Amino acid sequence: MTALTLIKNARILTMDDEGTEGGSMLVQDGRVVEIDPPFDRSEAVTTVVDAGGRVVLPGFIDGHAHMEMIGYAWGIAVDIRPPAVRSMNELVAKLKAKAETLSAGRWILGQGIHYQDQHMEEGRYPDRNDLDRVSTQHPIVCRFSFHMNVFNSKALEVLGITRDTPDMDGGYIEHDVDGEPTGMTNDMWHAVGGPDWPLDELCPAIELAQSSYIANGVTGICEFSLLKGGVDALMSLEARDRLKIRVALYPKVPDVCSLEAATDGTMAERFRSVDADRLQLGGMKLFIDGGLTSKAAAMHEPYWGTDIIGDLAFEPAEFAAIVEALDGAGHQIAVHAIGDRAVDCVLDAFEALPGARKVDEGLHRIEHAGNAFWNAERSARFKAKSLLPVPQPPFIFTTAPGYRKNLGPERGKNLFPFRTMVVDDGFAVPGNSDAIGIHPKQHIPLFGIWCLVTRHMINGETLDDSQQIDVETALKMYTRYAARSIGREHEIGSLEPGKFADFIILDDDPRSVDLESLRDMAVRETWINGELVHRAA
């Protein structure tokens, strides 16, 4: 018999169907054996963990993660986020300090925040002229979301961007009054050949992001790989036993994984040599439009105060054919669609498929659906085809004010209606972050839960509190529902016999504390596969 670990003197919230709670848990070979074992097995137990009366929960799962992008933001980029940077002079000074440490020709990345223009003394984003003050010998890019990037003149030269460079469907290059590129691009990263950083820099950066996830109780993620190097880095980390959390990986088609590699088995073949319990190919990611923050999401009506409606990244017939091909190859499909026109286009494509996926396979998903534009008609279309909407809880705090600004007073009313979607309509919406390192807490599940139950926004206002949900439901979203969203509820997401012993220990019960304290509640211990991987100081 292999070693047994007994967790005792605990308040275990299993998050199973019956809401079972217990006082002890037996773990063997990385899996849960029993909750409240009814007989004495002390002679066989090799390790006893006294939880001291604390709360034990299943490990949190981030149902829409970008650990790769957080790695870039925290391990590679220069931090140009307010409040540390509030003027162009301060932004230039921080980037210049980095340039002085690098040889000419080396790329420099700056990491800002959504709507940074609203936090700057000048009331605008930087342009290529501002970044040229940093260096004309280093290519420089400043990222304000994945969708919005500003390049200096050297970077434009390296990438071959000129006044004649065409826009791609779903994105655009900004030009000044003379027709020259300003440096600002929206949803053009792959089209213009934005760079990857080398693995010897990216792997440690991803490990840095992983350590923060683990310290905040995250034991599994649904990782959407947006850059080619992300797939290589995760496979390298797994091969060297450096990947600790469970990753379901969804590479972006066609920029990270070609449609041919997705449908002929080439990408799947790469994963045959890895530990599927730790790293597996979850499905494929598509983009049908850009970001609402950059006014590139595809809308039926123009953005407030503009004539901009955004573009689709594919013609509807072409997109439907791609969806059909990926579905036919057996892949779970997750589609980025933010604008109402984009969501309707994706629904059309999914409705044309001959059948629907089963829950245990992982339902086809529409990422960001429900952040806005949710109504009874769209809800019915999701249900009829067994599709999963995946809106982002932390956006209530970080992004809702910007959505209101871009959508105007009427369309900006019904934002992030989680109570309607989860409680009334019955969708198992996964807890998730879509964090790329902009806000220091966005990737933290307890912060996301705080957003769900308080609906506080970054501007100090509260967003339509009739859409608040209770803590118990929010916990289900970040455990069972997130596991279900990637087709892994049979092995993670709750503490039940046979499932992996991925769990966390908290000092307090999130269901009974003051709601405001959820935002800063700490995780005392994180366990993955029955092994302690984090203990708070």
Q: Residue 1 has what pLDDT?
A: 56
Residues with Cβ < 8 Å from 353, sequence gap 6 or more? 323, 324, 327, 385
pLDDT tens digit sequence for 223-246: 999 998 999 999 999 999 999 999
Q: Residue 287 has what pLDDT?
A: 96
* Cross-strand partners of 393: none
Give dist(CA 20, CA 12) in Å, integer: 8
pLDDT tens digit sequence for 308-323: 999 999 999 999 999 9
Q: Residue 311 has what pLDDT?
A: 93
Q: Residue 283 has what pLDDT?
A: 98
Give dist(CA 7, CA 329) in Å, integer: 43
pLDDT of 115 above 90: no
**pLDDT-derived band at 41, boundaries 50, 70, 90:** low
**pLDDT-derived band at 169, boundaries 50, 70, 90:** confident
Q: Residue 39 has what pLDDT?
A: 65
Contact between 251 and 285 under an 8 Å Cβ cutoff? The reply is yes
Contact between 339 and 297 under an 8 Å Cβ cutoff? The reply is yes
Contact between 482 and 468 under an 8 Å Cβ cutoff? The reply is no
pLDDT tens digit sequence for 120-146: 999 999 999 999 999 999 999 999 988
Q: Residue 43 has what pLDDT?
A: 63
- Whole-number CA gyration radius for the chain: 23
Give dist(CA 528, CA 59) in Å, integer: 8
Q: Residue 40 has what pLDDT?
A: 61
Tokens describing residue 11: 């308040």
Contact between 69 and 226 under an 8 Å Cβ cutoff? The reply is yes
Helix (H, G, I), strand (E, B) or coil at 518: helix
Give pTM, 2 decimals. 0.96
Give dist(CA 334, CA 346) in Å, integer: 10
Q: Residue 187 has what pLDDT?
A: 87
What is the β-pairing status of strands 4-8 and 25-28? Answer: antiparallel
Q: Within 10 A of 4 (CB to CB), how many other CB atoms are there?
A: 20
Give dist(CA 132, CA 318) in Å, integer: 40
pLDDT tens digit sequence for 67-109: 999 999 999 999 999 999 999 999 999 999 999 999 999 999 9
Tokens describing residue 233: 């880095």
**Residue the block writes with tokens 């088609």:** 253
**pLDDT-derived band at 170, boundaries 50, 70, 90:** confident
Per-residue pLDDT, averaged over 250-262, amounts to 97
Q: What is the mean pLDDT of the chain?
A: 96
Among 171, 466, 155, CA closest to 289: 171
pLDDT of 333 above 90: yes
**Residue the block writes with tokens 């019904």:** 414
**537 or 346, greater pLDDT:** 346
b/e burial code for range 271-294 (CB count within 10 A of at least 16 → b): beebeeebbbbbbbbbbbbbbbbb
**Residue the block writes with tokens 């034990």:** 56
Among 67, 126, 26, CA closest to 497: 26
pLDDT of 428 above 90: yes
Residue type, 88: M
Tokens describing residue 23: 């006082």
pLDDT of 336 above 80: yes
Give dist(CA 446, CA 431) in Å, integer: 10
pLDDT of 2 above 80: no
Per-residue pLDDT, averaged over 5-13, amounts to 96
